[in-house]
Amino acid sequence: MVNDSDTFFTLKGRDFLTIAEFTPEEIQTFLQQALDMKQLQKKNIPHPYLNGKTLAMIFEKSSTRTRVSFEVGMYQLGGSALFLSSRDIQIGRGEPIPDTARVLSRYVDGIMIRTFAHEKVEELARYADVPVINGLTDTHHPTQVLADLLTIYEHKGTLKGLKACFIGDGYNNMAHSLLEGAAAVGMDMTVASPEGYEPDQAILAAAEKRGAENGCKVGFTHSPQEAAEGADIVITDVWASMGEEAEKEKRLHDFKGFQVNEELARLAKDDYLFLHCLPAHRGEEVAASVIDGPHSAVFDEAENRLHAHKAILKCLMESN
């Protein structure tokens, strides 16, 4: 993987709203920056690329990994981060998003937001004069998927040509961003979901088109067995995401047969890699023997949130 300085320059000042908005070369640059800074951290070499910079972090959805990784990441990059819940700022009391965007742009050097509707992130970015990073919406989770791609690359030594599958809710931010990420880097990706839980058709169609352009196949099936057959990477997520807890009993019924367990995993390659963005519900979407087994890289994946997020911050916010 080669770091392209010209590509790095194209990322400065940009927003990070979806994986689909970046070229393969730009995604490679993010990943190389993450690998480089991971090595610096392991060797205890300071890397204050964002010395004196400040990131505003707006949380309308709670988080463990997103908050800690961005806050620690800014500290390690020499900057600082402000945690802002909807109870702490006026956006939670009806202030228009354009006003919040304009005000924060005069105080900070970047904004990360974790919220519900993707349209809110888009509106914030439209009116902000500083980079806006999508820490999660109901539709997309691009920062997590960048960490997933980093983890896959570290374990497999490549991305292009691999076969991955996502077993679970196809109308899920992870499924959508995985489809987009795989299509961008040339990795086959199949999402398997029960009827009624298919991916957003516009996102799926765009990913299929881009995948064909990049020499890979992305698609959808109702059969978890078909998706898992010969897979290099098996991925899942909770069946009831934040905001869907009231549907839990219905989803437990609807997703029967979609658990990633030893029987399903046997259809994947012998050296398959298991990923889950966490938190996980053992005994529901994944068997404990899989997530805690030898193929699981979920804690490498969780750690890589830090390194991937530092790469995003550096690429978008570094001055020089």
Catalytic site positions: 114, 141, 144, 237, 277, 305
Report CA-CA distances (Å) from 197 to 155, 167, 192, 224. 30, 11, 9, 13
270 belongs to an annotated ligand binding site: no
Handedness of CA 289, 290, 295, 297 (dihedral sign): negative
Centroid of chain to Cα 154: 16
41 belongs to an annotated ligand binding site: no
The span from the CA of 318 to the CA of 320, in Å, is 6
Using alpha carbons, select from 230, 240, 268 the residue that is nearest to residue 168. Answer: 240
54 belongs to an annotated ligand binding site: no
The span from the CA of 102 to the CA of 60, in Å, is 19
138 belongs to an annotated ligand binding site: no
66 belongs to an annotated ligand binding site: yes
DSSP readout, 32-86?
Answer: HHHHHHHHHHHTT----TTTT-EEEEEESS--SHHHHHHHHHHHHTT-EEEEEET
190 belongs to an annotated ligand binding site: no
Cα angle, residue 275 at apex, residues 301 and 216 outer, rounded to 5°: 105
144 belongs to an annotated ligand binding site: yes
The span from the CA of 63 to the CA of 162, in Å, is 30
237 belongs to an annotated ligand binding site: yes
64 belongs to an annotated ligand binding site: yes
Terminal CA-CA length for the chain = 23
242 belongs to an annotated ligand binding site: yes
63 belongs to an annotated ligand binding site: yes
Residues in the annotated binding site for carbamoyl phosphate: 63-66, 90, 114, 141-144, 277-278, 305
Residues in the annotated binding site for L-ornithine: 173, 237, 241-242
Residues in the annotated binding site: 63-66, 90, 114, 141-144, 173, 237, 241-242, 277-278, 305
